[in-house]
Structure 1
Amino acid sequence: MTPDLFGRHRAVLPDWLALYYEDPLELTHGEGRHVWDAAGNRYLDFFGGILTTMTAHALPEVAKAVGEQAGRILHSSTLYLNRPMVELAERVACLSGIPDARVFFTTSGTEANDTALLLATAYRRSNTILAMRNSYHGRSFSAVGVTGNRGWSPTSLSPLQTLYVHGGVRTRGPYAHLDDREFTDACVDDLKDLLGHTRAPAALIAEPVQGVGGFTSPPDGLYAAFREVLHERDILWIADEVQTGWGRTGEHFWGWQAHGQNGPPDIVTFAKGIGNGMSVGGVVARAEIMNCLDSNSISTFGGTQVTMAAGLANLAYLLEHDLQGNARRVGGLLLERLRAVAARVPHVREVRGRGLMIGVELTRPGTDEAAPEAASAVLEEARAGGLLIGKGGGHDTSALRIAPPMSLTVAEAEEGAAILERALRSV
């Protein structure tokens, strides 16, 4: 990137708008699992624009669908019938697992979560929300109000009363020493105790795998156990699938399915990968919940024709090429390879994740103390080696986040792991 563009960026955009790298990158084009910067350098992309390039960069099927739709009509708002929106809603409703599902499209995951919170509070007539510690749900006023990660929550002001529940991070906190069954039981007891001290909440909102939190997750079944407690009290369950949806975790199409013993969530939110870079988010809920609002509403840009065309083409490609299966196979190999590397690097506390959603947590050797400077150094070294990765974590962003397009090949996984190994060893 030229210094001139960086200077122009700083002159007109907010100081709090984060940029990666000491010398920020300008990405100019991409193809498959690779991107190029303005200087012509080629990189293997293991972050996909924050888990958003789900299938591949410049996927011909998506590019063709967008171009053809753009040649007809780009936009009309939701005040008019919209065939691509109806068709994508039909597919999402069917895939959601929610009976009698209704779908509302938004332009982002933040807006999707904001809508889910509106629906839940209106339906339950309560503005109390349960959320998970170390969570992240977006940038809007209400989404920030239910975010349990202080690094991404700039204000304590909120339209909601939020109570934070334990369980999203398996290997830290007061229950970390317990086995999975005991951990789940302790978290359920904590939830019951919390509910005994507050008025009935509207909903629990939870990411099956915490994204910005560093790809942490509870034992399978924890949210199913929570669901039993919530159901007894008519409290809704919102699954934030903005990062986990569409088969990225490999084992399941939705992250909630690892906790689905008692049926699907009441509300599911989605975004990021479905549009493969186009601005698509949305909410799926039972009809009685979705239809509970007693005032008129529209969306100017949610569900606009060109983004719906992209979503339809992208989803079709994902299903036809079994990218969920590929995420399971290639992700499993990559996870095993990185765990072998980590065993020889003192800075690595844990390698975790599932499918193509992998976190590498760094600490100061021999301690549980976060090492954000090490994470930044690895990020820089990986870039120098031709690999782009992300950062996150609830402990001073000391976790590396690895989430390449779900079409990643075995050879590309090996190449990326080798670059990351050299970067980790350099710390």
Structure 2
Amino acid sequence: MSKDLLGRHREVLPDWLALYYDEPLEITHGEGRYVWDAEGRRYLDFFGGILTTMTAHALPEVAKAVSEQAGRIVHSSTLYLNRPMIELAERIARLSGIPDARVFFTTSGTEANDTALLLATTYRRSNTVLAMRNSYHGRSFSTVGITGNRGWSPTSLSPLQTLYVHGGVRGRGPFAELGDEEFIAACVADLRDLLGHTRPPAALIAEPVQGVGGFTAPPDGLYAAFREVLHERGILWIADEVQTGWGRTGEHFWGWQAHGRGGPPDIVTFAKGIGNGMSIGGVIARAEIMNCLDSNSISTFGGTQITMAAGLANLTYLLEHDLQGNARRVGGLLIERLRAVGAQVPAVREVRGRGLMIGIELARPGTGEADPEAAAAVLEAARAGGLLIGKGGGHDTSALRIAPPMSLTVAEAEEGAAILEDALRSIQ
């Protein structure tokens, strides 16, 4: 049945629509932290639909909210008052830390970043944007144009002039051998030098932890240091929280808070986990930035009632069950367990991350050279063992990405770590 479905997939869908595994998987249903395939095999899910199933599969509270809202009205557009949209916006504005915050809902992280770029370039009257090397911000024409990861940027054409800054990758590049303070100082000096050679940019857009880039991050405080330089010149800071928001990193509710000296970003974008699988994205900005557009705009599907009902129920569950604290506690145990395993496997170059956002970078032993073949082999071995993980990285996709639902239990973390240990040892 799966082979037949794969053939149909290839007949009608683009060749560039990526599929995992030599024999692609059809997931038919899920519950908690587990999913089942079309053959009835169960898997522990350590990737959550690319960090989207944030709380749990088939969470009853979200399912009930969606069902009840569907029985009333599914959609009316932003041309009419929308109670669930207003209620979710109020909660997100309070949680954002941005003063006088306004919230605009979209259907995806890509669209959220598009909107942030529109706001920043309009507000600053500049089409120049700073982005981080190894970054990823979406698959639209404008977001592909600012993505700093070659594997996910199919064209250099863009409505924007993009300049790339050092600092998103701690363990590689020209500053990798420096200590944290020296690393930050070198990246700030690079930023200052870059700004001395160009017209004033609209904004810097940055992921606090690079997602597609392999869950790599700079030392805490880098973006606060960047912000001081940006603020001197009136340049905005956009925090792309599509993967890091809602407590995923454990220590903080937003990823930017690890770099919080000087206050919140000017603009925050979000998506993925807030909908727990429903299509929700959005932008948060202070009123003067959000209101800078001088023409009409709407969002046909952004903020639709059924997705807002899901978002409200999901956010309520996350806060009432302290899933941020769970990500910190269980994620801390999991990363230490994986570091102990990695120390015994020569192909593991680094185990990094925070909370339930963990990356394992693989390299050819003794060389430090990225090893995408090993990453692909571990991905297959983990699946054979009953575990689903992701992969990424800016160096030939050599990093494994681990991001289970934030309700992960200690027992499930140990189960997944044991499967990963076997998978990693299988490539030696």
> TM exceeds 0.5?
yes
- Residue in 2 that maps onto 1:86: 86
- Residue in 2 that maps onto 1:140: 140
Q: Which runs of 4+ in 1 moved over 4 A?
A: none
- Residue in 2 that maps onto 1:130: 130
Tell me the amino acid that sits aligned with residue 127 of structure 1: N
Please report the TM-score for the alignment, with normalisation by the length of structure 1.
Answer: 1.00
- Residue in 2 that maps onto 1:225: 225
Q: Deviations over 1:374-420 (max 9, x none)?
A: 00000000000000000000000000000000000000000000000
Write the distance in 1 (CA, Å) between the matches of 2:36 and 2:70. Answer: 26
Write the distance in 1 (CA, Å) between the matches of 2:120 and 2:2. Answer: 47
- Residue in 2 that maps onto 1:112: 112
1:248 is displaced (CA, Å) by 0.3
Secondary structure of residue in 1 paired with 2:10: helix
Please report the TM-score for the alignment, with normalisation by the length of structure 2.
Answer: 1.00
Alignment map for 1:8-47 (pairs within 5 Å): 8-47=8-47
Q: Deviations over 1:259-303 (max 9, x none)?
A: 011100000000000000000000000000000000001110000
Write the distance in 2 (CA, Å) between the matches of 1:347 and 1:305. Answer: 48
Tell me the amino acid that sits aligned with residue 339 of structure 2: R
Write the distance in 2 (CA, Å) between the matches of 1:82 and 1:335. Answer: 42
- Residue in 2 that maps onto 1:265: 265
1:204 is displaced (CA, Å) by 0.1
Secondary structure of residue in 1 paired with 2:182: helix
Q: Deviations over 1:354-378 (max 9, x none)?
A: 0000000001111111110100000
- Residue in 2 that maps onto 1:52: 52
Asked if 1:420 is matched to 2:420, the reply is yes
Write the distance in 2 (CA, Å) between the matches of 1:60 and 1:112. Answer: 28
Alignment map for 1:258-407 (pairs within 5 Å): 258-407=258-407
Write the distance in 2 (CA, Å) between the matches of 1:410 and 1:44. Answer: 13
- Residue in 1 that maps onto 2:155: 155
Tell me the amino acid that sits aligned with residue 189 of structure 2: D
Secondary structure of residue in 2 paired with 1:418: helix
1:134 is displaced (CA, Å) by 0.2
- Residue in 1 that maps onto 2:241: 241
Tell me the amino acid that sits aligned with residue 254 of structure 2: W
- Structure 1 unmatched runs, 5+: none
Secondary structure of residue in 1 paired with 2:210: coil
Secondary structure of residue in 1 paired with 2:28: strand
Asked if 1:253 is matched to 2:253, the reply is yes
Secondary structure of residue in 2 paired with 1:69: helix
Alpha carbon RMSD of aligned pairs, Å? 0.4
Asked if 1:199 is matched to 2:161, the reply is no
Q: Deviations over 1:79-115 (max 9, x none)?
A: 0000000000000000000000000000000000000
Tell me the amino acid that sits aligned with residue 312 of structure 1: L
- Residue in 1 that maps onto 2:74: 74
Tell me the amino acid that sits aligned with residue 348 of structure 1: V
Q: Deviations over 1:149-176 (max 9, x none)?
A: 0000000000000000000000111111
Write the distance in 2 (CA, Å) between the matches of 1:155 and 1:368. Answer: 29
1:255 is displaced (CA, Å) by 0.1
1:30 is displaced (CA, Å) by 0.1
1:345 is displaced (CA, Å) by 0.4
Q: Deviations over 1:225-251 (max 9, x none)?
A: 000000000000000000000000000
Write the distance in 1 (CA, Å) between the matches of 2:242 and 2:381. Answer: 29
Write the distance in 2 (CA, Å) between the matches of 1:146 and 1:349. Answer: 28
Write the distance in 1 (CA, Å) between the matches of 2:367 and 2:307. Answer: 47
Tell me the amino acid that sits aligned with residue 170 of structure 1: R
1:318 is displaced (CA, Å) by 0.1
Write the distance in 1 (CA, Å) between the matches of 2:366 and 2:338. Answer: 19
Write the distance in 1 (CA, Å) between the matches of 2:190 and 2:87. Answer: 43
Q: Deviations over 1:33-70 (max 9, x none)?
A: 00000000000000000000000000000000000000
- Residue in 2 that maps onto 1:168: 168
Write the distance in 1 (CA, Å) between the matches of 2:370 and 2:209. Answer: 20
Write the distance in 1 (CA, Å) between the matches of 2:177 and 2:2. Answer: 49
Write the distance in 2 (CA, Å) between the matches of 1:372 and 1:182. Answer: 30
Write the distance in 2 (CA, Å) between the matches of 1:3 and 1:212. Answer: 28
Secondary structure of residue in 2 paired with 1:363: strand
Secondary structure of residue in 1 paired with 2:369: coil
Write the distance in 2 (CA, Å) between the matches of 1:424 and 1:175. Answer: 29
Write the distance in 2 (CA, Å) between the matches of 1:217 and 1:99. Answer: 26
Asked if 1:184 is matched to 2:184, the reply is yes
Write the distance in 2 (CA, Å) between the matches of 1:236 and 1:148. Answer: 19
Asked if 1:216 is matched to 2:198, the reply is no
Write the distance in 1 (CA, Å) between the matches of 2:346 and 2:304. Answer: 49
Secondary structure of residue in 2 paired with 1:113: helix
Write the distance in 1 (CA, Å) between the matches of 2:3 and 2:275. Answer: 32
Write the distance in 2 (CA, Å) between the matches of 1:139 and 1:288. Answer: 28
1:2 is displaced (CA, Å) by 1.7
Secondary structure of residue in 2 paired with 1:30: strand
Write the distance in 2 (CA, Å) between the matches of 1:2 and 1:420. Answer: 25
Write the distance in 2 (CA, Å) between the matches of 1:384 and 1:25. Answer: 11
Tell me the amino acid that sits aligned with residue 133 of structure 2: R
Secondary structure of residue in 2 paired with 1:204: strand
Tell me the amino acid that sits aligned with residue 414 of structure 1: E
